[in-house]
Amino acid sequence: QSVLTQPPSASGTPGQRVTISCSGITSNIRSNFVYWYQQLPGTAPKLLIYKNNQRPSGVPDRFSGSKSGASASLAISGLRSEDEADYYCAAWDDSLSVWVFGGGTTLTVL
């Protein structure tokens, strides 16, 4: 059972905007930055969003992140078939002194 809570699945049609939520508590999301990773089938996770809402170079601006209190969201606009993947949120937990992750959300492009 993962420390951060994500919906197990999400879906949308090409061109649509979808959001994925990530819920935590004071010791992790409320107190620290949130990060998002994209994992394509059979590959390692790839950094998608860092420090709540920053995109590494090479990540399209269709991807955006936000945080409010102990929750965070990843938004994907202009959905494309290549966005089909698993998405994970992560944060440092001050009480556990570990990185904690969400259980992952599988995004399907219909």
Q: Which residues form the interface with another protein (CB under 8 A)?
A: 2, 33, 35, 43-47, 50-51, 56, 88, 90, 92, 96-104
* Kind and range of the H or E run holding 3: none
Spatial separation of the C-alpha atoms in residues 60 and 25, rounded to whole Å: 29
Least separation in angstroms between CB 72 and another protein = 14
Task: Yes or no: say if 102 and 6 are a contact pair by the CB < 8 Å rule.
Answer: yes
Least distance in angstroms from the C-beta of 15 to another protein: 30
Our CB check for another protein shows the closer of 96 and 110 to be 96
State how far the Cα of 39 lies from the Cα of 41, in Å rounded to an integer.
6
Q: CB 14 → another protein: shortest distance, Å?
A: 28
